[in-house]
Amino acid sequence: MAEYSPARYVVLGLIARHGPMTPYELKSRVEEDIQPFWPILHAQLYRIPAELAQAGLLREEAETAGRRRRIFHLTEDGRTALARWLADPDTPEAETRDPAQLKLFFADLGEPADIVALATRQAARHRDLLTHYTALRAGLDPAADPRQRARARLLRLGVLHERAHAEFWESVAARPERLDD
């Protein structure tokens, strides 16, 4: 069995969760649910479903009239591939590409006020995300809809992550010379 990229599993997972979808619908779902923690280029979401259909993991249905949309359905082989991926507890190391952390690394080469400005801006951004994720989580009812359980867990992680980042950057803004709490 071939190993697929995370983006391909995103496509399989979204179709498994939400039913048949067009590439445009996939793009919308990724923007809404996945983009904050796993960015995927829009062009990939138009290319990947056709590749997965060619591999037998999706089945393509083309409308014969109207907009002639391409609708992709999960096949049994696709469901099996997704289940196998989900059952594998191993993952690659997490990737962090945070431009603020890169600037923090080189902060000693800039002006002392620069780190305070950076930290203040980052604290505000992370507080905004914390507020956003908290509101999204409050709007879910996983007890009423079990499909929301995974999203609720992920939002909990997002809340904890953003809280930690906001507190870190706030401490740097308040006392940039301090290295430990």
N-term to C-term CA, the chain: 49
Give Cα 159 distance to the centre of its chain: 14
CB 76 within 8 A of CB 82: no
Res 1 pLDDT > 80: no
Which residues have CB under 8 Å from 7's CB, separation 6+?
Answer: 38, 40, 44, 45, 48
For residue 62, give the H/E element and its range. Answer: strand 58-62
pLDDT in tens, 126-160: 999 999 999 999 999 989 888 889 889 999 999 99
pLDDT in tens, 157-178: 999 999 999 999 999 999 988 8
Residue 136 burial (CB count, 10 A)? 18
Q: If pLDDT is split at 50, 70 and 90, which confidence band does 2 have?
A: low
Which residues have CB under 8 Å from 147's CB, separation 6+?
Answer: 17
Res 24 pLDDT > 60: yes
Closest CA to 114 of 104, 124, 123: 104
Q: What residues does 72 pair with on adjacent strands?
A: 21, 60
CB 14 within 8 A of CB 21: yes
pLDDT in tens, 68-116: 899 999 999 999 999 999 999 998 888 878 999 999 999 999 998 999 9
